[in-house]
Chain A
């Protein structure tokens, strides 16, 4: 069994890592390669970059920073945001990304997942899914960064993504995201039979939350603020997980 992975997530806008401050302004945290180096040194197992303002115009900017990150980093990394075609993915992989993340585009055109898996192998395809629980209908899929509800049932969609060729699922609970109340372990329990790795995201606030998610079937855990703000340093988190019997790379 491979080690359970700890994955910091970085939002990138126009080639800079940013962080939203109370939904108003974006604070600049630095160059992607700079932060990548820091997390590499701290012992992160992998990084996820989400290009939150991906557009045709900034494609050149993106290739440039992806290349720099690939050059600096000695761990794998995923880049997502605005990937709608095999050509988009190829440009990221050629620039040195190990995997590409797809979300809204895959939901609107599921064949995209299969096309990417056929072109690059399913290990390159990370399907990101944002979900929110409806009291009556259960977990639903949300699009466009979690702003747009759909009628799609989340659990069905996750299985379909597996069938389509996704290599991995990055699952964000919109109910928990930003709360610090812990990952949605009930949701993870529903997915224990999923044959591809599952990255749990949304809700991390304490060390024990990571332990819970991993005990409830997640293969990897993702967080942003906790790591960026230095609230929970990765070496401390890993030491805690190891003490509690989780297999982590130390």
Chain B
């Protein structure tokens, strides 16, 4: 069991306040890391993200994360991307055709639409597409989304959602996982999902409290 805190990548492209609130409520220890040398030595790394693909990629490059993340993953380090974080893990995105993604998840991120309101903003249902040992079948449960681009689903996409067309809501390969919805904004369902994923990734959960006499 790892006793290292979760590493939150801090690169000015994410709402860390809400994510930290969610981790506090779950009792999971975390540490912000602006550069890889500030990362915990083990345990999950979380890549949050809102904003533009290319700007986020540039910011990750400047801080040294872009180069290091693939080798950390190759060494078996768990990595969770949230929202734009998921998109950065893919092979590339239509939002920035000249830039490439980290290629840690298969597929290309494409713009949503036509024929639906973009950005896709609000609560949408997700369904299980491929079983994962840590994530329960959501049975059409609701999660909160805010995005204009989405990863194309594959046969092994874990959760699929739909906005005009099906897209990957949760994608995973090996120790890498990506959430398109915001688990920290998705009520109780989101908190449970975050807890399941991070515990599976080796985040230390608090000891159960001793019963009072």
Contacts and interface: CB of A to CB of B under 8 A. Distances in A.
Interface string A25-60: 000000000000000100101000000000000000
B117 A197 contact: yes
Contacts of A2: 120-124, 145, 163
A76 B185 contact: yes
Interface of B: 15, 17-18, 20-22, 24-25, 50-51, 117, 119-124, 142, 144-146, 163, 182, 184-188, 190-191
A70 B184 CA distance: 10
Contacts of A76: 144, 146, 182, 185
A202 B71 CA distance: 55
27 contacts: A1-B124, A2-B120, A2-B122, A2-B124, A3-B122, A3-B123, A3-B124, A5-B122, A45-B123, A70-B15, A71-B20, A71-B21, A74-B22, A74-B186, A76-B182, A94-B17, A96-B15, A96-B17, A96-B18, A122-B119, A123-B119, A123-B146, A167-B121, A196-B117, A197-B121, A249-B123, A249-B142
Contacts, number: 80
B59 to A, nearest CB: 16
Contact of A98 (B15, B123, B142): B15
B64 to A, nearest CB: 23
- Central interface residue in A43, A74, A249, by most chain B CB within 10 Å: A74
Contact of A40 (B17, B24, B187): B187
* Interface of chain A, main secondary structure: loop
Give the 7 A-B residue pairs with the shortest CB-CB distance, closest first: A2-B122, A96-B17, A71-B21, A249-B142, A3-B123, A70-B17, A249-B123
Contacts of A98: 15, 18, 146, 185
Interface of A: 1-3, 5, 40, 43, 45, 67, 70-76, 93-96, 98, 121-123, 167-168, 195-197, 219, 249
Given A123-B146, A195-B117, A71 B17 contact: yes
Nearest to A70: B17
Contact of A74 (B25, B119, B142, B163): B25
A232 to B, nearest CB: 20
Nearest to B25: A74
Contact of A70 (B18, B122, B187): B18
Contact of B185 (A67, A75, A123): A75
B191 A167 contact: no
Contacts of B124: 1-3
Contact of B123 (A5, A40, A93, A195): A5
Contacts of B24: 71
A247 to B, nearest CB: 9
A76 B25 CA distance: 16
A76 B15 CA distance: 11
Given A71-B20, A76-B144, A249-B142, A197 B187 contact: no
